[in-house]
Amino acid sequence: AAALRRLNSAVQYVPYRGALRPRSALRLVRQYDIVADCSDNVPTRYLVSDACVLAGKPLVSGSALRLEGQLVVYNYRGGPCYRCLFPRPPPPDAVTNCADGGVLGVVTGVIGCMQALEVLKIASGMGSSFNRYMLMFDALEGRFRNIKLRPKKADCAVCGDSPSVTCLQDYEAFCGSSATDKCRAVQLLPSGDRISVQRYKELLDGRVPHVLLDVRPQVEVDICRLEHAVHIPLRKLEEKDEESLQHLQKRICEEKQRTDDQTSVPVYVVCKLGNDSQKAVKILQELPAKEFGSVLAKDIKGGLMAWATKIDSTFPQY
């Protein structure tokens, strides 16, 4: 609000301190003619869209991730709402926000300017065509595309002919994730399949035989890594890449020689935040024992960022 006042002091800016909640969203939305959604999490997107439908307000929605952006105008002139396009939220572990995946600031600037343009067009009576089309922006290719949207759904839960959603609900419970744009922490494994960075440091200092598997993308490994880690990107594990799995099996066998083949060698999996490492552990646990042998895998909670904050303050954070 302070930055906007410096640009134009003639406009009234009313900041609301705190996260948008179901108990207050409808009251706030009803005070305005147009709403712009600039949030970066799924629960807030459902909350804002439902509030706009119940209040009868158009919603100019923008999103950006990495080098791509999208723009849609929901609930406008008979067009669809957010739930028409996405009736159910995606699994929490399948969602990537900007804190997790990163975003180029210029992309958010482009999409933000496009949102502002559509708000002005709607407010002035010119109207917007993005209630029928989704704007897709590819910054890498420098390309804009318009994708035709499905029409408003007659059976939509909130804007349909017989809506089942007539009041705002618990959207964090509905989506299975928190309404925050901060780095997410998902829980995909039981506690017995996870260890803390402090416990891993004890194993490392005690020279306990094991294999450390880093499943981050190569670009992140190039930023920082633990030197003794074996690097296999999660994508390679998901594809069951034979060369990668054989490389891992070879490292396990080499480490097992240190134990005189008396015990199995555990594989501790690490990533940036401890989310992808859980996915990797589930993949390793499901590998056929006849082909790859029995793999005892656990993930390191909090990943390398927890290592940087709790174990080694000199380790780079990114």
Size of the chain in residues: 318
Known catalytic residue at 81: no
Neighbours of 282 (CB within 10 A): 14
Cβ proximity of 22 and 8 under 8 Å: no
DSSP H or E run through 214? strand 211-214
Determine the Cα–Cα distance for residues 242 and 301; give it in Å rounded to an integer. 27
- Residue in 84, 98, 159, 175 annotated catalytic: 98
Confirm whether 52 is a catalytic residue.
no
Looking at 81, 84, 159, 271, which residue is catalytic?
271
Q: Do 207 and 302 touch, CB atoms closer than 8 A?
A: no
Could you tell me the end-to-end alpha-carbon distance of the chain, in angstroms, rounded to an integer?
Answer: 28
238-266 in b/e form (b: 16+ CB < 10 A) is eeeeeebbeebbebbeebbeeeeeeeebb
Q: Which residues are tagged catalytic?
A: 98, 271
